[in-house]
Structures are given as structure tokens and as C-alpha cells.
Structure 1
Amino acid sequence: MITTIIIDDEQHCIDRLLDLIKRHPNTFNVLATCNSVEQALEQVPKLQPDLVFLDIKIHAKTGFDFLQELPTVNFKIIFTTAFDNYAIKAFKFSAFDYLLKPIDSDDFNDSIKRLKNDLSHQTIENQIQNLFNNLKPEPNKIITIPSLTGFETLKVEEIIHLEADTSYCHIFTKNSKFTASKPIKFYEELLDGYSFFKTHKSHLININQVKKYYRGKQSYVVMSNDNQVPISVRKKDDFLRLFD
């Protein structure tokens, strides 16, 4: 059983989660529901849940205020929010799960499936620090990369290029290669606006890390780690315009 606490300032939202939870018999044990940060700060350390459903806006405070006031975090978090706003991208960068209100049953089921596949709390403190960093307006974002064995974190600016591998993705830095358990399309959307360009259906490059360009029947670039990345015919003109 996954011991669970719900933190939300709206009773109808709590009721919705309780209804969805009931559809998973023998999976959850709801220890408490809290409608304020103060109540949550009293209940969570005392009850030590495995999982917290955490609302973003809780009266005059936020779920982030709650996390910052805790001495340690040793539980999984699924954020709930009524707004598809700047926080959503921060969740994705930091590999946190989230549910948009009103919560869809299919989205809930998908989150629970992912949760069951990883109930480890080993990386939660680093994830939270990365989340707080990614909520700041500064451009130096830190990305958390979920893998089959856990998580890796690195600065977005350190990513040189990405290569698709069916439903996985290889992420290359100067000295390392990470295999992420998400497709390249996920990172293409996440890194939009961060100087990344899709040169080919299977390749995404950091424009700032291009070392050389070779034109020809099969054009390609050499990246700063000396890896060669192909440029498809239909992408070549768009690529060259980036350097006009």
C-alpha cells in the first residue's frame, strides 16, 4: 500500500482525488487530507507518507512554500495545478510528475503507473533543488534526465546533441552519454527556446556547440565533442539561415 497525503485548499479537488484513488483498491492508504500549508507541515513529518499530492496554490501560500519549510523531503510528489503556466515547464525540466485540474482519470492512471515503477526516494532532494532552480527566471536551467536506473542532472548549456533511439533518447555532453527513458520529441518540446535545432528526425543539436559544417549530398555538422550529426535535405536551408 502507498501511504498518501493530499494537500489542497479546495474540498472538491480533494474529493476528486479521493474518488480516483478509490478506483485503485489495495494500492493507496490515505493517511490525511490537509487544506493549508500549516496543517500539512504538522501532518506530513508526523505521518511520513510515501506520496503527497501537492497543490500549487494553497490559500495565500504555495506548495513550494511547504517544501521549503520542511527540514527533509522523503516522499514522492505529484503536483496538482489548475494552470498550465511557467511551473509546468519547471516540472518537466526537473522530472516531476504533475496533474492538471480538473484531473482526468486517464492522466491520473498514467501518473500512478509511473509512480509504481519508481517508488525510490533517493533522488528527491536533488530533484527539489533543481525544481527551485528551474522556477527562477534565469536562463541557466538544470535538466533532470530519468533513466532506467534513476536520474542524472546536468545544465542545459552542457548538452551538445541528442539522438533518438526508438522510445529512448541518447543525450551527449563533452565527456558523457546519458540514455533517457523518454523519446526525443519530449526533449524537442522541452528545449524549445534554448538554442536547439532538429537537424534530422532522429537528431537535435545545440547550435552553440556546432564546431564545423560540411555541405554536400549528405550534409552534416561536427559538434564540439567531435561527433558527426547528419542534416536532412529539408532541414539544410533552415539550418544555414541560423548562421546568416
Structure 2
Amino acid sequence: MIKTILIDDEQHCITRLLDLINRQPHTFHVIATCNTVEEALEVVPKLQPDLVFLDIKIHERTGFDFLREINEVNFKVIFTTAFDNFAIKAFKFSAFDYLLKPIDSDDFSDSIIRLKAELTQGTIENQIKNLFNNLKPERQKIITIPSLKGFETLKVEDIIHLEADTSITHIHTKDKKTVVSKPIKFYEDLLDETIFFKTHKSHLINLKHVKKYFKGKPSYVIMSNDAQVPISVRKKDDFLRRFD
């Protein structure tokens, strides 16, 4: 069972999480709930949880304060937040998960499925570092890709294009292709829409890596790795406007 701690300053949010957790009685062992950052900093190191559900706004402090101040992060984090803002993308970049309040039961179940698949020791400390790097807009963005043995990181600027293959995605960079067991829609939502453009239902490209454009039926682009990527008819005008 997954040793779990809930950190939230609103009791009704803790109650909602406990209700969802109790629907999976053989998955979780809730060992504590905390209402303040200070309480969490005292309790978490002692109890050594596997998982922490962490609110972002906790009274006058934040979940980020907790992560910065704790000596060792050796547990998985699922953020819970009522704010659908820029930070959501940073969480995803760092292979974190998040639940938007009020928490939907289907979203919760999907999150736990991913958690079980990715719950590995020894990678979490680096994910925390990536999170804080990605929260700083001046820093170069890094995307974290889960693997069977842990994870690997890719610089976003090195991603040339992404290609869907049913429920998996092929991420193409200059030197290699990485296969990830997430749909392309995940990366469409994650990556900066001012830089990445979905030319086709199965293709997402980095506009900075477009080398040539060929009009016609069908039209297509040649990317910096010489890959040919189609542009659907309904996407063509939007694509051309990006280069006006």
C-alpha cells in the first residue's frame, strides 16, 4: 500500500480527498493530514510517506515553500489546486501530476493509474529541481520523459517534432527519437503554443525548426532533421499566419 500524507488548509478539501482515497482501500494507507506548512515539515520527515497530496496555497504560505524547506524529497507529489494557471505546465514538465479543485473522481483515478506506473525511487529529487527550474521563465525549459528505469530529460528547444501513434507519441530531436506512452494531446497542452503548432491530428511541430514549406495538395514542411511533416487543409491558413 502507498503511505500517503495530505497537506491542505481546507478541511472540506481533505474530506473530499479522503472520500476518493477510501474508494481504493487496498491502494492507500493515509498516515497523516496536515493543515500548515510548518506541521508538514515536522511530520513528513518522521513518517516517510510514499506520496503527498500537496495544496499550492496553504494559509499565507505555499506548497513550494514546503518543497524548498524540506531536507529530502523522497516521495511522489500530486499537487491539488484551485488555480488553473502557468504553474500547471511547470508541474507537467517535471513529471508531476496535479488535480484541479473541485477534484473529479475520474481525474483522481487517472492520476493514480499514472502514479502506480511511475512510482520509482531515486528520481524524485531531480524532478523537484526541474520543477523549480521550470517555474523560472528565464531558465531553459526541460521536459522529463518517464522510462522503465527512471526518467530522462530533453531540452524543449531540441524537440523538432512529435508524431502520434495511437496512444503513444514519438518525440523527434536532432539526434534521436524517444517513444513515450502518452498521447500527443498531452504534449499539445503542455508545450508553448506560440512555438509548437499542430499541423495535423498526428503531428506537432516546433516552428523554430521549420526549414522549408511546400504548398500544394497536400502541403507539407521539411523540418531541420529533414523529416517531412504534412499540413492538413484546415490547418494551412493558421500555419501560414505564423510566418506573416
Question: Given the two structures, how large is their TM-score scaled by the length of structure 2?
Answer: 0.91
Aligned to 1:74: 74
1:56-205 to 2 correspondences below 5 Å = 56-138=56-138, 140-147=140-147, 150-205=150-205
Q: 1:226: how far off?
A: 2.0
Query: Could you tell me which amino acid in structure 1 is paired with residue 204 of structure 2?
Result: L
Tell whether the 8 Å contact from 1:147 to 1:181 is kept in structure 2 after alignment.
no
Number of equivalenced pairs: 244
Q: 1:175 to 1:97 in 2, by over 3 A?
A: same
Identity in percent: 79
Tell whether the 8 Å contact from 2:52 to 2:77 is kept in structure 1 after alignment.
yes
Tell whether the 8 Å contact from 2:133 to 2:139 is kept in structure 1 after alignment.
no
Q: 1:50: how far off?
A: 0.7
Aligned to 1:52: 52
Query: Could you tell me which amino acid in structure 2 is paired with residue 221 of structure 1?
Result: V
Aligned to 1:29: 29
Tell whether the 8 Å contact from 1:77 to 1:96 is kept in structure 2 after alignment.
yes
- What is the distance in 2 between the residues matched to 1:20 and 1:95? 22
User: Cα RMSD between the aligned structures?
Assistant: 1.9
Q: 1:76: how far off?
A: 1.0
Question: Given the two structures, how large is their TM-score scaled by the length of structure 1?
Answer: 0.91
Q: 1:216: how far off?
A: 4.0
- What is the distance in 2 between the residues matched to 1:237 and 1:12? 48
- What is the distance in 2 between the residues matched to 1:237 and 1:30? 53
Q: 1:95: how far off?
A: 2.1
Q: Which moved more, 1:113-122 or 1:63-72?
A: 113-122
- What is the distance in 2 between the residues matched to 1:204 and 1:77? 29
- What is the distance in 1 between the residues matched to 2:106 and 2:234? 37
Tell whether the 8 Å contact from 1:163 to 1:171 is kept in structure 2 after alignment.
yes
Q: Which moved more, 1:84-93 or 1:147-156?
A: 147-156
Q: 1:166: how far off?
A: 0.7
Query: Could you tell me which amino acid in structure 1 is paired with residue 162 of structure 2?
Result: L
- What is the distance in 2 between the residues matched to 1:228 and 1:32? 53
Tell whether the 8 Å contact from 1:162 to 1:203 is kept in structure 2 after alignment.
yes
Q: 1:159: how far off?
A: 0.8
Q: 1:66 to 1:213 in 2, by over 3 A?
A: same
Q: Per-residue displacement from partner, 1:166-225 (whole Å, max 9, x unpaired)?
A: 111111111021112111122122224341122222111111111223344443322112
- Which ranges of structure 2 fall in alignment gaps of 5 or more residues? none
1:208-223 to 2 correspondences below 5 Å = 208-223=208-223
Tell whether the 8 Å contact from 1:50 to 1:76 is kept in structure 2 after alignment.
yes
Name the SS for the 1:3 alignment partner: strand
Q: 1:111 to 1:242 in 2, by over 3 A?
A: closer
Q: Which moved more, 1:9-18 or 1:42-51?
A: 9-18
Query: Could you tell me which amino acid in structure 2 is paired with residue 65 of structure 1?
Result: D
- Which ranges of structure 1 fall in alignment gaps of 5 or more residues? none
Aligned to 1:8: 8
